[in-house]
Structure 1
């Protein structure tokens, strides 16, 4: 009886500590084509699977590196909308903080003033606003950008720091901005569904007093469906210290990432997505 009671207590603690940060993307698998996630080649040592939840709905999925305090990638459906830009405050993820059962992204102010967290508790596992305020020549690069979302809630949900990396300011406003706003629109024009995975290759430089990794590259991959068939796929990659990038086939992007991550094989999508 005592053993059963102890097991119940331990199970309760496990639930409180993890909430919606779960051992897999099972709760938000709809953001991956055929539910197929990238293989383990991109996995960092201290990772978190985040089903990005705002106003009681999932809007995209993020694999997060708690040591480097940047996302590895975010996966989402490409659904560009013309809605107004939401408030640009940035959320943090209470699910990365131990011993709480908060299931949705929140503002730092709310966690500190309404839920009695300290800033140090938040900073332990993730980036905070003051980290990005200390950066020069870098912008908050959204892996799942608000311009690729069609509702005000989905747009707002992208403004979480678990979806953001330090991105070179010239790249952010230049080549990558053109890719997100124009190239993606042109390449997906006749797609009925487009699955997206956008990520960042960790670099050797840390910013914000050594707390936040500055990625060496920003990359993105897309798989276009007409009906239920994957018709074509493509990728993009840019070095994160210059205003230029490349458009690649999905196979070329995966090969490039294999070299950058020093892994035998990087696979981003279900095999049905064309590699050539």
Structure 2
């Protein structure tokens, strides 16, 4: 009888874990990584959260989030730009970072406070909030997964969550980084059936919003082009987060640069995508 009760408890625990999209892997959304393989553990922060970004019962991209620094480490997605305009939506939050609850999808700060009775302090403890970005000088909300790289209005709206943005230099965000996102990517991806992208931020030594949110030292992005199920080319870029300059490089060069910055060997797409 005792053995049966223990078995039932284990099964109940497994079922409860199935309700959360913030788990210890991207098991619910491997489709955003080439061959289902995310970057290696070299990028993992001390207190990570693996988020399958979910809105309206659909997954749109994946994010590794740093709970302590309150910024994403990277967001991974398939490059599928649509014709729609940038949506005008409220900034969303990830309720699953707030202790134990069964809320599966990103939602607004107001909904969390008034419908689900979370306090603002509870929310702020787990992640950055919209108020952390309202008084920043010379910095923008920098999307790691940009709305313009996704196809549907719903997917675009899903990029407007605090777990997908970092404090990014305003001139860089509106300048060379925007040129890469808007002009370079369409050129580089011509002929690709699928393009897998990982865009990340290297933690910096300074914080904003009264020490709550880390300002990254660098912003980077890597892409792997797939034709007929085979990766045919790959590339990367990196930018210091206080200059309007973007360095274009091979995937291998980007991994080597990140290896230096993280002081650990970084691989972004395993060994399948061309590094040269």
| TM bracket (short chain) | over 0.9
Map 1:179-190; keep pairs closer than 5 Å: 179-190=180-191
Change (3 A) 1:13 1:230: closer
Partner residue in 1 for 2:162: 161
Deviations 1:53-102 (A, max 9, x none): 00000000000000000000000000011112212311000010112100
- Contact persistence 1:17–1:98 (CA under 8 A): no
Change (3 A) 1:12 1:87: farther
Partner residue in 2 for 1:115: 116
Map 1:50-69; keep pairs closer than 5 Å: 50-69=51-70
> 155-164 or 79-88, which moves further after superposition?
79-88
Structure 2 CA distance for aligned equivalents of residues 154 and 127 of structure 1: 21
Q: CA deviation at 1:20?
A: 1.1
Q: CA deviation at 1:126?
A: 0.2
Change (3 A) 1:98 1:250: same
Map 1:201-212; keep pairs closer than 5 Å: 201-212=202-213
5+ long unaligned stretches in structure 1? none
Partner residue in 1 for 2:42: 41
Structure 1 CA distance for aligned equivalents of residues 117 and 217 of structure 2: 36
SS of equivalent to 1:225 = strand
Structure 1 CA distance for aligned equivalents of residues 93 and 185 of structure 2: 28
Q: CA deviation at 1:135?
A: 1.2
The answer to whether residue 197 in structure 2 is matched with residue 196 in structure 1 is yes
Please provide the CA RMSD for this pair.
Answer: 1.9
Q: CA deviation at 1:11?
A: 5.1
SS of equivalent to 1:27 = coil
> 220-229 or 82-91, which moves further after superposition?
82-91
Find runs of 4+ consecutive structure 1 residues off by over 2 angstroms: 1-18
Partner residue in 1 for 2:273: 273
Q: CA deviation at 1:8?
A: 2.6
Deviations 1:27-67 (A, max 9, x none): 10000000111000000010000000000000000000000
Partner residue in 1 for 2:77: 76
- Contact persistence 1:131–1:212 (CA under 8 A): yes
Partner residue in 1 for 2:234: 233
Structure 1 CA distance for aligned equivalents of residues 137 and 191 of structure 2: 39
Query: Normalising by the residue count of structure 1, what TM-score does the alignment of the two structures yield?
Result: 0.95
Query: Normalising by the residue count of structure 2, what TM-score does the alignment of the two structures yield?
Result: 0.95
SS of equivalent to 1:197 = strand
Partner residue in 1 for 2:28: 27
